[in-house]
Structure 1
């Protein structure tokens, strides 16, 4: 099955599901496994690959680059089939460093351009300057488009008030079934949200651990003959205007995730509503979580 897409404001399409690479590229003895996991993801049908210069201080980009090169060399994909996302450190997001940062990311990835370049989080460099630089990178064809990450309501309001700020196409935020702060206000901007850690880092960041003993989740896992993690992921994947980027280096988990992202496992509207009632978004706005 193919993956769903979302149309961005520039008219282009982005896959609704992909893979994340946070914490990859950090341990030398794990890099081969990480390369194989990204390669396997591409082989399965994943086309959206999310990384950042921060991850392993460029190590994750190198891992992704090796997997991309292998997939292209083996004829599985062409470069234009892939949707590659990377992020710039806030302290590099100004005229002094961003162009070098972007070039270094491209070299580590072994590609000529990024499909999407994100400001990783708010820093001290004025947004006006960062937007100017992002637009320049677009003109230089180093990136196709740009966005932000970990931006809350006030950040988005400021961004959209400055020249060309409206060209932001994505906001990547923490989002999972037990952390739905983004649903209260951020969704109202109409800019697609990219959900990182949609499985709550295998549940390690869920405040209420009883989520794994929740009767409804257990019932649905049995109904759909799948794991509780697949139910959690399927709920996030069901949300309109959300892009989902789960991360795993285990082949079985990659296949489990792909079964959800390819809609082989798809929750009925009734079951989505039941989960929504069980794990509601805050009725009063709270700051988005960030890890």
Structure 2
């Protein structure tokens, strides 16, 4: 493990494959079996013909024999039935240990669950943070019922997206001070508060990565959560899935 971090998320799209090469370099000194690597296939490559090619290319770039979880990056023109069939085939070859999806909403998951191998979908990676709480209305309850883990990208929302400068938000400042933490650590702690969410914050600095890891030690109180809800309320109606 790297400072206690086991999950590393990447994709064939990131940097045209260079992100996977960078991950390979970063994990080289560590025990591969202690890490959980996630990569993603582009929708244009999510066919029976192309998924095996994409998987092989990712494995070469990552310098590993297998990926722990392989996700469909978002829905595209290729039928989801074909994509799942291809994912199951590469899984049977031990090139991926499991598969999931990304940026899929309730309707898409309902369709997947009706397919013979749909129940084998092991995660959904979506944008989730204080400024993007829409999934709490219907998608998150559905995933909880299915016992499907949520992988939250962009868990530390940008201030402009929330309509305020987070570092100056009074409630967040008070809660951060109470827990001897930074506001960004509070945002991460909030995101993973239910124990069923994996947050994958992006950072290019070692110190920030270590700070992010420490956020897992913060236990927000019910009072903290009520204060946060008063500023960033839960959704009261269905909302479009937040993207990017």
TM-score range, shorter-chain basis?
over 0.9
- The answer to whether residue 141 in structure 2 is matched with residue 188 in structure 1 is yes
Q: How does the TM-score come out when normalised to structure 1?
A: 0.79
Q: Tell me the residue number matched to 1:122.
A: 75
**Structure 1 CA distance for aligned equivalents of residues 69 and 191 of structure 2:** 21
**Structure 2 CA distance for aligned equivalents of residues 133 and 205 of structure 1:** 40
Gaps of 5+ in 1: 1-41, 73-77
Deviations 1:32-54 (A, max 9, x none): xxxxxxxxxx4311111000000
Q: Is the 8 A contact 1:128 1:163 kept in 2?
A: no
**Structure 1 CA distance for aligned equivalents of residues 198 and 230 of structure 2:** 22
- Give how far 1:210 is off: 4.7
**Structure 1 CA distance for aligned equivalents of residues 177 and 123 of structure 2:** 35
User: How many pairs align?
Assistant: 240
| Equivalent of 1:220 in 171, 175, 184 | 175
**Structure 1 CA distance for aligned equivalents of residues 176 and 162 of structure 2:** 21
| Equivalent of 1:237 in 184, 192, 201 | 192
- Give how far 1:274 is off: 2.6
Distance 1:159 1:205, change over 3 A: farther
Q: Tell me the residue number matched to 1:53.
A: 12
Deviations 1:132-160 (A, max 9, x none): 01111111111111000000111111111
- Give how far 1:182 is off: 1.1
Q: How does the TM-score come out when normalised to structure 2?
A: 0.93
Q: How does 1:1-291 map to 2 (within 5 A)?
A: 42-69=1-28, 71-72=29-30, 78-189=31-142, 190=144, 191-200=148-157, 203=158, 206-261=161-216, 263=217, 265-291=218-244
Q: Is the 8 A contact 2:189 2:219 kept in 1?
A: yes
Q: Is the 8 A contact 2:166 2:183 kept in 1?
A: no
Q: CA RMSD in A?
A: 1.4
Q: Is the 8 A contact 1:113 1:144 kept in 2?
A: yes
SS of alignment partner, residue 144 of structure 1:
coil
- Give how far 1:117 is off: 0.3
Deviations 1:24-74 (A, max 9, x none): xxxxxxxxxxxxxxxxxx4311111000000001000000001111x23xx
Q: Answer 1 or 2: higher relative contact order, Cα 8 Å, separation at least 6.
A: 1
Q: Tell me the residue number matched to 1:10.
A: none
Distance 1:111 1:205, change over 3 A: farther
